[in-house]
Amino acid sequence: MMKLFAVSILIFLWSSLNAQKTSNKVYRLDEVINANPDTIFSISISKSKLIELPKELWRFQNLKELYLVKNRLVSLPDSLYFFQKLEILNLDRNDFETVPLVISRLENLKKLVLSRNKINVISGNLFYCSKLEEMDFYDNPIGTVEPKIYEMRQLKKLDIQGVMLSTKTHSEVKTKLSWVKVSMDPPCKCLD
C-alpha cells in the first residue's frame, strides 16, 4: 500500500513538472495568431525592428512573459497595463532613454530587463512594482539611482555592469542595497 502511494506521488510530481515545462514555451507572435489566447503565456517579438507594439498582441491578456528584444522601441503604450499577469518583461537592446512609466503599474512583474538601452536614471517609479525581484540595466549610461529604489526590500538582483559610476554612487548602491546581489563594475574616479 505504501509503495503504491509513493509511486502515485512520484507520478504526480513528474507530470506536474512536465506540465510546467510545456507551459513555459516561448512562442513567436506569428505562431499564435490563430491560437486560443487563453492558452498562450509567453511571446517573443524580437529582432523585428518594432517601433510600436503590434495590435495582435493585445489578444493575449494572460501573458506571463513578454520578450521584445532587439527592436527600435522608444516608449511603451499605457495599455501595457492590461497585461497584469506579466512576470517577465525583456526590453533588451531597444532605444529607451527612460524607464517607461507604465512598467510601474505591472503589479506582478518579477523580472525586468532593460539592458543595452540609453537609460541614464534608474527610476524610483519601479518601487511600485511590489514583486519585482530582478532588474537588469547592463550597459546603459546610468548616472543616477533614484532613492525609492533603495526601499525595494523584495529586490534580490540588480545588474548594472557596463555602467560607469562615480565612487560616491557606487558606494551608495552597495551600501543602500546591502541585501541585493548587485553586479557592477568598479567605480570610475574620473566621474568624481
Within a domain: residue 98? yes
Confidence (pTM):
0.86
Within a domain: residue 4? no
Mean pLDDT along residues 90-96: 98
pLDDT digits (tens, 9 = 90+) for 44-78: 999 999 999 999 999 999 999 999 999 999 999 99
Within a domain: residue 8? no
Q: Select from 68, 62, 15, 16 the least CA-distant residue to 35.
A: 62
Q: Phi/psi at 79 (nearest 5 deg)?
A: -65, -10
Within a domain: residue 50? yes
Three-class SS state of 3: helix
Question: Which residue type does 125 have?
Answer: N
Within a domain: residue 19? no
Cell 557592477, residue located: 184
Whole-number Cα distances in Å, 123 to 32, 74, 184, 191: 34, 16, 18, 21
* Contact status, residue 144 vs residue 123, Cβ threshold 8 Å: no
What's the domain count of the chain?
1
Q: How far apart are CA 192 and CA 187, in angstroms?
A: 10
* Contact status, residue 80 vs residue 106, Cβ threshold 8 Å: yes
Three-class SS state of 130: coil
Within a domain: residue 135? yes
152 exposed, middle or buried (CB, 10 Å; 0-12, 13-18, 19+)? Answer: buried
- In sequence order, the 6+-apart residues with CB closer than 8 A to the CB of 71 are 45, 46, 47, 48, 49, 50, 51, 93, 94
Tell me which residue range forms the domain holding 151: 24-191
Three-class SS state of 112: strand
Sheet containing 42-44: which strands, arranged edge to edge? 27-28, 42-44, 65-67, 88-90, 111-113, 134-136, 157-160, 181-184
Under the banding of pLDDT at 50, 70 and 90, the label for residue 192 is: confident
Question: Which residue type does 52 have?
Answer: E
Cell 527610476, residue located: 123
Within a domain: residue 2? no
For residue 73, give the CATH number of its domain: 3.80.10.10
Within a domain: residue 106? yes
* Contact status, residue 90 vs residue 67, Cβ threshold 8 Å: yes
pLDDT digits (tens, 9 = 90+) for 139-182: 999 999 999 999 999 999 999 999 999 999 999 999 999 999 99
Q: What is the mean pLDDT of the chain?
A: 90
